[in-house]
Amino acid sequence: MPRSVRRRRRRVARTRVARDAFVDSCEMFELAAAAAASSTTPFVSVPLPLRSLVPAKKAMALCEMGGKGRGLVATRDLPEGTTLCCEKAIAMTMDWEHDDDESAAESAGEGNADAARLLLRVCAMARRNPGLWFESGLSELFPRSRREARGLAAWGCSNSVLDAAVRDAVTTLRNERTPGNWGLLPLIVRHNAVDVSTCGETLSYPSSPLVGLAGLALYARSSAFNHDDDPNVLRWHCGDVGVWRTNRFVRAGQELCVSYVESDLLRTPALKREALAHFEPAVRGGGGGGGGEIVVRALDVAAQNRWMQLDPEDRLAGLAKLRPKIACDKIQHRVLRAVSFASLGKAADARREFLEVVRLCKRLLPPNDEQTVVFLVHAARAALASGEPNQAAALLGEALAAHAAIFGGGQLLFECRFATDLELDLGYRPDPDLRRLCIMT
């Protein structure tokens, strides 16, 4: 049989396997949301039902990166929007599981309690499947040996009950001679577990059932991506499945890096250093930087919630006196102003503010960042509400192009991910013309 025929048949087989998982990407998110609403752990099947999310073959290789351990390098030129990895988590704990602790006192000041719960889950899985250490890829995660672990801070949990439970679970695995270097597991989780959310960048997220899909997850192959302040790889999630894609053209031989922290913190060294602290970047390869200055965010999540409780007029008056100095606050300051104008029915003013947010995102964030896509969508909505359909079409087209680069999946996945944002009532009614514009663009 000719090689081309065999390749075509394998490609068709992979597509059929993907379609067996879900009818389409809309159903993928609907099932994940249903799992969140019923407080059950979402197990999304792979491969995902979109051809653009099938990882490219022979696109990257694991190499020694000098003084920062191992990392992934592009083996050939990779276009923008290349899918590098699509994998299920080895294990994941959901944020909603943390609300069922035995007592309120136990959950107060938990610190890294979510990591402790993830450790306990992995230990429980290992007792059911003694081959987990090698089958799941745990054996390849940093630190891989006692030599690599030398010099790392000892693991500990501020919650004494969970700390004791983790130590007992690890000791049990070692005493039962379960294959694997289980004494390294706490350090492996600390250095490789990542926060996960589904559509967490959207403005409608706080009131969405997808909030129930947030948690802490441990992945195998994708944990080899090192950190960089200017990442050329971005990730997104649906439940416990993660997708890693290039956000720009990457030349052969260039290291493939992600950001271990939220993209709007990368321009503020003190905040970035604080967020990277538990990864110990001096060991894992970069990103510490900055001096010893202390920076306090003026518009963190708690502050944003307080501002949103004010009347829109009072909110605008207060925001006019605020002069944010760091990148993340500058962006949120404009977002709050835009939402306030929208609440007052001033679509033209909201459009002006959202356009300024887009400008800031393009200047301060990595290329094709997910936050840029969100604010392009809302700038388009405001433009349409203020009688600027041509500008709305241009902005929406730009959002679709950036979304295709980060997330793949074309217009179908775009509408799935932004369904609630397109219907979000910010003060001007959701306009059905926006969906028609999606089709036109």
> Helical H runs in 24-159?
25-37, 104-107, 113-128, 132-135, 146-149
Range of lowest pLDDT (15-24, 167-176, 383-392, 417-426) = 15-24
* Domains (range + CATH), the chain: 13-284 (2.170.270.10), 301-440 (1.25.40.10)
Contact between 166 and 119 (Cβ < 8 Å): yes
Range of lowest pLDDT (25-39, 177-191, 252-266, 349-363) = 25-39
Q: What is the mean pLDDT of residues 210-235?
A: 92
Q: For residue 394, what is the DSSP state?
A: H
Tokens of 241: 């499945």
* pLDDT over threshold 90, residue 131: yes
Contact between 269 and 289 (Cβ < 8 Å): yes
**CA–CA separation, 277 and 341 (whole Å):** 38
Comparing CA positions, the residue from 241, 234, 243 lying closest to residue 266 is 234
Range of lowest pLDDT (18-32, 253-267, 329-343) = 18-32
The amino acid occupying position 383 is A
* pLDDT over threshold 50, residue 348: yes
∠ CA(234), CA(42), CA(39), 5° rounding? Answer: 125
At residue 436, the pLDDT reads 59
Contact between 107 and 153 (Cβ < 8 Å): no
**CA–CA separation, 422 and 433 (whole Å):** 11
At residue 208, the pLDDT reads 85
pLDDT digits (tens, 9 = 90+) for 276-325: 876 654 334 444 444 556 778 899 989 999 999 999 999 999 999 999 98
At residue 17, the pLDDT reads 44
Instruction: Tell me which of 296 and 3 has the higher pLDDT.
Output: 296
**CA–CA separation, 277 and 142 (whole Å):** 16
Range of lowest pLDDT (52-61, 98-107, 173-182, 371-380) = 98-107
* pLDDT over threshold 50, residue 34: yes
Contact between 383 and 358 (Cβ < 8 Å): no
Confidence of residue 374 (pLDDT cuts 50, 70, 90): very high
Q: Residue 395 to residues 43, 124, 234, 374, 434: CA-CA distances in angstroms?
A: 35, 49, 22, 11, 11
At residue 137, the pLDDT reads 93
Average pLDDT, the chain: 84
At residue 90, the pLDDT reads 94
**CA–CA separation, 263 and 122 (whole Å):** 29
At residue 267, the pLDDT reads 87
At residue 69, the pLDDT reads 79
**CA–CA separation, 422 and 435 (whole Å):** 8
Tokens of 65: 């990166």
pLDDT digits (tens, 9 = 90+) for 64-109: 887 777 899 999 999 999 999 999 999 999 888 775 443 343 344 4
Range of lowest pLDDT (42-51, 52-61, 166-175, 292-301) = 42-51
Q: What is the mean pLDDT of residues 151-174?
A: 91
Q: What sign for the dihedral angle of Cα 61, 136, 148, 280?
A: positive
In which order are the strands placed within the sheet that holds 70-74?
A: 60-64, 70-74, 255-258, 226-227
At residue 8, the pLDDT reads 61
